[in-house]
Structure 1
Amino acid sequence: MTLKEIRSLDAGCRFHEEYRGEKVPLFEEFLELTKEYPDMLYDFELKEYPVAGNERRAYETADRVTALIEEYGLGDKCVLNAFSAVLLQYIHDKYDGRYRLHGYYPKSLLGESQNRDPYDILYCACVCEDFTRETFDRLKQRGIDTWAGTRFNNREMLELARRCGATLITCDNPKEVRETLREMGLHT
């Protein structure tokens, strides 16, 4: 879609009536909003991947995102997230390991890697399969913070995340997940 087409969409209509009419913000507009929340941790997912024919665009996008993150002083308040081991390695190498990187488990979700194990450079990984304490422990032994992926979106799955030792949950339904976590005594 073009930017004009994206900006014509209603970004809030499917969530709650009070958000009807909200527009998809530009990244810079979102970063302006972050000024109101100085203690928030941000997980910025990069969606342009360096697949055949798209390498230049993917790397330029990552560079523009990191430049804006620096401009807004969010380097230590964010993680950069991608389903691409190659893109995560590019960011790690180009920026001398300055950014915390967020990947996924199992490794097959990260696509092909170039010349190193992507888990050697990750700060955290969302566990999306094999929800066992052993999986979480193996990642932690490598120094990787374990997060629960979007499948952890109801009480049963949130209890499993707690038992496995997840330290953070990424979700598509934050209001409901937060309320359930509060009921479980796991969120203030």
Structure 2
Amino acid sequence: MIERLQDCEAVVVAGHRGYKSNYPENTLLAFEQALKLGVHMLEFDLRLSKDNVIMVIHDETVDRTTDGKGKVGDFSCKELQRLDAGRWFAERFAGLRIPTFEELCELLKAYPDVLLNVEIKPSFNAIEAAGGAIAMLKNTDFGAVRFTSFDAAVLAHIHDAYGLKTQGFPQAQMYNFVPGDNGTYSKMWAVGISMKLLTPELVEQFRDMGLQVWCYCPDDLKSVYYALGCGVTLMTCNNPVPALEIGRHRETLRSAKNGRNPLGGATVG
């Protein structure tokens, strides 16, 4: 499925940690709302709890996104799910919990066509987290999944041990980066570029290396149009609405012109 994105002309939108701009990130509510918007992909972050349960949370600690304090890996799953993961964002979201990856997978059963961007956060047990996530997805079409990490060693392991598609980042942003022809870039299918770094020249540089180019996070009309001007149609967004609206408008114009959908099947963004 993800091969549809190869040199794709349509605007393809991933919800960054769900619908992050409007809901508490990496909660089931944020994912549900992103899916209702019609995002083509969900991006989310995985870490292991103290008892080796795969949890959906971005930071190394729970301090920013819950009412707790301390490292994620110092809490058991039950302890993590006692924390409030919604009130920090707004009082009306009080009571939301940190989901397990299993709970997210259960939600995703109702959305079989949605692509997944599974980010493994750097940690001493990141490779274990990656292996656990891959095992849980064993009944999933891996053609719909892309694994992401800022740790080049994790990407290399996923690429070499499992033969799965990975997304990394420019060298200066990665840990354990290995230069050279057989280094980190050779293990990557795609590269994600921050809007702060995005230029047409950088996009061309990575395309010349045979990499698919994504950007993050174009969250308003101006930044979406800038990304398109740089030649990037694959976008991970905190606020998916502008990119989805522009994508649908472009697709309407393209369909009216030639009656063809570049991704095949149902129209996407």
**TM tier relative to shorter chain:** 0.7 to 0.9
CA-CA distance at 1:12 after TM superposition: 4.1
Partner of 1:164: 230
Indicate the larger mover: 34-43 or 107-116.
107-116
CA-CA distance at 1:44 after TM superposition: 0.6
Tell whether 2:197 aligns with 1:123: no
Give SS of 2:237's match: coil
Partner of 1:102: 167
* Contact 1:43 1:81 survives alignment (8 Å): yes
Letter in 2 for 1:47: K
Tell whether 2:228 aligns with 1:154: no
* Contact 1:158 1:181 survives alignment (8 Å): no
Greater than 6 Å deviation, 4+ residue runs: none
CA distance in 1, matches of 2:144, 2:91: 28
Matched residues, percent identical?
Answer: 28
What does 1:52-131 correspond to in 2, within 5 Å?
Answer: 54=124, 57-70=125-138, 72-95=139-162, 97=163, 99-104=164-169, 106-114=170-178, 116-128=182-194, 129-131=196-198
Unaligned runs of 5+ residues in structure 2 are: 1-71, 251-267
CA distance in 1, matches of 2:208, 2:189: 12
Taking structure 2 as the reference length, the TM-score comes to: 0.58
CA-CA distance at 1:148 after TM superposition: 0.8
CA pair 179-149 structure 1, distance change in 2 beyond 3 A? closer
CA distance in 1, matches of 2:189, 2:91: 33
Query: How many pairs align?
Result: 173
CA pair 169-180 structure 1, distance change in 2 beyond 3 A? closer
* Contact 1:140 1:146 survives alignment (8 Å): yes
RMSD across aligned C-alpha pairs, in angstroms?
2.4
CA distance in 2, matches of 1:149, 1:141: 20
CA pair 83-181 structure 1, distance change in 2 beyond 3 A? same
Match of 1:182 among 226, 245, 248: 245
Give SS of 1:21's match: coil
Deviations 1:99-131 (A, max 9, x none): 110111x21111223473322121211112432
Taking structure 1 as the reference length, the TM-score comes to: 0.80
Unaligned runs of 5+ residues in structure 1 are: none
Tell whether 2:205 aligns with 1:138: yes
Tell whether 2:78 aligns with 1:4: yes
Deviations 1:19-64 (A, max 9, x none): 5533221101111111111110110110143xxxx2xx22222111
**Normalized per residue, which structure has more helix?**
1
Match of 2:98 among 12, 24, 27: 24
CA distance in 2, matches of 1:6, 1:109: 29
